[in-house]
Structure 1
């Protein structure tokens, strides 16, 4: 057995792989996060929370990719079908303009999207009952049943997790997620002006 120290850049095979989401491994010199005032317990809890968020994102990504493969559709196609299901559920007419606005895509892209979904047998276009110049888009019953039976059932399980929380816990989690969304929002962001500290 060699007594030589491991070469630079090599890793002890028995050493634990560092967490990608721990403050110690991702920001060892506190360039991004000032940890003064945080106890080791605080840091461990924050690391655990960031890891849990990462697991949630990974699970959502895996579910999304599986649903796209199962339905043989693209991400925008699936978002459009979801919008059509919601529109049907609440009794509003889904027009191409409403779809474009909801998905934040151009009119031309919406037309291509609807052509693609109609050719695949997922949607149906009809004239608007009160505005003959407009179209109403509806999801075909079989596509709706398939989406509800597969992706819908899986997505609905989120409610089970929320149900297990007490009311005060739900409010706290909601505030945390809203606060985090605001903190990482790109609104008004200037990459050039960013300072790590």
Structure 2
């Protein structure tokens, strides 16, 4: 996990450098891309909540992304008090150009996995996500337990 996280963080740094953006700018663009795919309208307040930042910070971030041509703001069609935010074709193209190779390599890494392997990896990642997100507080009791299977060097039985 440490080696994977280290490689992932290095990939994020390379992506930020190649697109000349910080982490929050990339998170905004990813959120906008997913929202567009779901045909969901996005306001600056939605983005501020998603990132957990103030609306003032979000305004500054959106100003930078708009100035660089990565997003546009437009009036809400039915509520004059709101503004909608969307990524531009330029942003979509740049993200696709930057990330396509990495996504292809990630998909290649999963090809050929058996159903049993997929279930095991997915279960492990769900438990790790829960543990890292601290969804259950210190007890960790709401994280799904690992299923007892064959003994392995990583199981608690084998270590005992």
Displacement, 1:184?
4.0
SS of match in other structure, 2:69 = coil
Q: How far is the alpha carbon of 1:169 from its aligned partner?
A: 1.1
Q: Which residue of 1 aligns with 2:42?
A: 94
* Counterpart mapping for 1:35-114 below 5 A: 53-114=1-62
Counterpart residue number, 1:129: 77
Helix, strand or coil: the match of 1:165?
A: coil
Shift of 1:159: 2.7
Measured after TM superposition, the shift of residue 139 of structure 1 is 0.9
1:118 — aligned with what? 66
TM-score, with structure 2 as normaliser: 0.77
Q: 2:127 aligns with which of 179, 187, 191?
A: 179
Say whether the 8 Å CA contact 2:69–2:90 is kept in structure 1. no
Moved more, 126-135 or 157-166: 157-166
Aligned-residue offset at 1:111: 1.0
Aligned Cα RMSD in Å? 1.9
* Higher Cα Rg, which structure: 1
Q: Which of 132, 136, 141 in structure 1 is aligned with 2:89?
A: 141
Tell me by how many angstroms 1:126 deviates.
0.1
Specify the SS of the correspondent of 2:53: coil
Shift of the alpha carbon at 1:178?
1.6
Task: Using structure 1 for the length normalisation, give the TM-score.
Answer: 0.64
Aligned pairs, how many? 138
Structure 2 unaligned blocks of 5 or more: 139-160
Give distance in 2, aligned partners of 1:102 and 1:185: 15
